[in-house]
Amino acid sequence: MTARFVRLAETGRLLIRFTVDGHPAEALEGDTLLVALLGNVRSVRSSEFGDGRRAGFCLMGACQDCWVWTARGERLRACSTPVAEGMAILTDATEAVW
């Protein structure tokens, strides 16, 4: 996996381990899920309006551009969800497509 974000500071917080599409990933305690994802991968999800990949847009919970899913099918807004130890995140929709 190639990260979009590079952490330059705040490296002293507790390490959190989670998975993205089945691949192991790491973040720091207190990171949002969006920061955690982009610290490990280039994009967050596929666009339902085109063929491009998306990496979040507003970063503050307004644009709806950072939805991801848990392995259990729960939909999460990555920019306003704290990352947690053991999360299993999927970047492709598990919901039915209309």
pLDDT in tens, 2-52: 888 888 888 889 999 999 999 999 999 999 999 999 999 988 887 777 778
The pLDDT value recorded for residue 43 is 86
The pLDDT value recorded for residue 84 is 97
Long-range own/partner contacts, residues 11-18 (CB < 8 A, 24 or more apart) = 16/83, 16/84, 16/85, 17/85, 17/86, 18/83, 18/84, 18/85, 18/86, 18/87, 18/88, 18/89
pTM for the whole structure? 0.85
